[in-house]
Every structure is written in structure tokens, then in C-alpha cells.
């Protein structure tokens, strides 16, 4: 396991809603786009970096103090481009949390490059329940295998599986370049939430980066 050092990521935070130590990102009264722009941390892996399978692990994650049912934040997003605002998600897959009316909901969503609508995903799967309730810690495993996207939800350090969200990607596999955590959604400034994201491991499945062939053997 090799966790990310968030102090090396790029901060785009005109609203001043995000802070980070080496292992932990903290969001405070996080809402939709502030000052006309998104609020996010990002890592540029280079063009076409995630062209094959990958597995990321992230946790513990915890959300606190949602102000309304619309309170929401993207936990992790793999994307072709950086957002120009909080409502443009084309060319990405993402895991995000929303407070919702009954129990909070964890979403796995794809936005294909041909998706021209703002907040309507190309495809999605969801979990709604107490395992992602405000004030409750949870863990996720975010992975792509071929044309299948998965999000596994755990209540502890990757031992007790609560649910698996999954779908078949709508397009040929995208070669994602950027990782974002957190990222804004177009929910408006009246819906806020706080929380912490800890211990992002981008090498949990040994994936990432292009694959080369040398003397008949695959080498990463």
C-alpha cells in the first residue's frame, strides 16, 4: 500500500473550502461552485495514463453536518479533462455522496464524452443506507476492469463488504488523465457538508499507466 501525499496535489479552491495534510483532505461547509469556479484537488497523471484496468482504495471517509437533502460532494473522479465549472462532467467516472431525503446515498456514475447534459449521467448505480450515514466512517474500492466499472463499499478496512455498485461502461474504455478529490457538483451554495477523506491508495490493484511489451512479456 502506498497512500497519496495530498500536499503534492494541485489545489483549485476559490471558495476556501478545502484543506489537506499528507494523508487527509478536509472539506468545510462544502457546496456547489464558489466564486464562479469549482473547488477541488487534482492530480495530473499525464495524457492517457489510465488506459487500462485500475483499482483505487480510499478510506476512512466520513461526511458531517449536511445542511439539506441536496448536500453533496464528489469523493473521487477519474477524468479526461479538468472541470470548467461544477456542472460539466463529460468524460469521467466518479463516486459521490449525497445526503438525500431518507438515507444518504453513494453513487457510482459515468459521464461519457458524448454526454452534453449537465447533471444527467450516461449510466449509474447507487447504494442508499446507514453504511454511508452522516457521521459514519466507510471505505470504498473504485475500479475498472475492461468495460466494467465497480465501486465496492466497506464498513471497515476492506474486510466487511456492504455492497458492490457496478455497470458496463457505455463507450470504449476511456484513457483518463486526471484524478480529482473532492470535486464540486452543481448543487448551489445553500447546500453544504463537511467531512474528511483519508488514505487514498492508487496502486491497490497494481494498475495505472500504459502497458508495454518487452521480449514477449508485459511490463508496466
- Higher local confidence (pLDDT), 92 or 215: 92
CATH number at residue 142: 2.60.120.200
Neighbour-count burial of 73, counting CB atoms closer than 10 A to its CB (0-12 exposed, 13-18 middle, 19+ buried): buried
Residue 145 included in any domain: yes
Asked if residue 107 lies in contact with residue 79, where contact means CB atoms within 8 angstroms, the answer is: no
List CB contacts of 125: < 8 A, sequence separation 6 or more: 107, 108, 151, 165, 166, 167
Other CB atoms within 10 A of residue 37 CB: 16
Residue 1 included in any domain: no
pLDDT exceeds cutoff 50 at 201: yes
Pairwise CA distance, residues 195 & 185, whole Å: 16
Q: Mean of the pLDDT values across residues 43-59? A: 95
pLDDT exceeds cutoff 50 at 211: no
Beta strands in 80-190 (DSSP E): 92-98, 105-111, 123-128, 138-145, 148-154, 161-168, 178-180
User: pLDDT tens across 159-200, in order?
Assistant: 999 999 999 998 777 899 999 999 987 665 578 999 999 999
Q: What's this model's pTM, rounded to 2 decimal places?
A: 0.89
User: pLDDT tens across 56-86, in order?
Assistant: 999 999 999 999 998 999 999 999 988 765 5
Q: Mean of the pLDDT values across residues 96-122? A: 87
- Higher local confidence (pLDDT), 214 or 22: 22
Task: Identify the domain containing residue 182 by its residue range.
Answer: 6-219
Task: Indicate the number of domains in the chain.
Answer: 1
Amino acid at each position: 500500500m502506498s497512500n497519496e501525499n495530498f500536499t503534492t496535489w494541485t489545489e483549485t479552491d476559490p471558495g476556501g473550502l478545502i484543506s489537506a495534510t499528507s494523508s487527509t483532505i478536509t472539506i468545510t461547509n462544502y457546496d456547489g461552485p464558489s466564486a464562479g469556479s469549482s473547488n477541488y484537488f487534482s492530480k495530473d497523471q499525464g495524457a492517457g495514463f489510465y488506459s487500462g484496468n485500475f483499482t483505487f482504495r480510499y478510506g476512512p471517509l466520513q461526511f458531517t453536518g449536511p445542511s439539506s437533502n441536496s448536500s453533496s460532494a464528489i469523493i473521487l473522479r477519474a477524468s479526461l479533462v479538468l472541470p470548467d465549472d461544477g456542472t460539466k462532467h463529460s468524460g469521467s467516472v466518479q463516486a459521490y455522496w449525497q445526503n438525500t431525503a431518507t438515507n444518504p446515498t453513494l453513487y457510482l456514475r459515468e459521464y461519457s464524452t458524448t454526454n452534453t447534459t449537465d447533471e444527467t449521467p450516461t449510466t449509474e448505480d447507487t447504494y442508499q443506507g446507514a453504511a454511508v450515514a452522516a457521521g459514519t466512517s466507510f471505505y470504498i474500492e473504485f475500479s475498472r476492469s475492461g468495460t466494467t466499472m465497480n465501486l465496492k463499499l466497506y464498513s471497515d478496512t476492506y474486510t466487511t463488504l456492504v455492497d458492490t455498485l457496478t455497470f458496463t461502461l457505455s463507450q470504449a474504455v476511456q484513457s483518463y488523465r486526471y484524478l480529482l478529490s473532492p470535486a464540486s457538483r452543481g448543487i448551489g451554495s445553500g447546500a453544504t457538508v463537511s467531512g474528511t477523506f483519508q488514505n487514498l491508495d492508487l496502486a491497490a490493484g497494481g494498475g495505472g499507466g500504459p502497458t508495454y511489451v518487452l521480449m514477449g512479456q508485459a511490463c508496466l
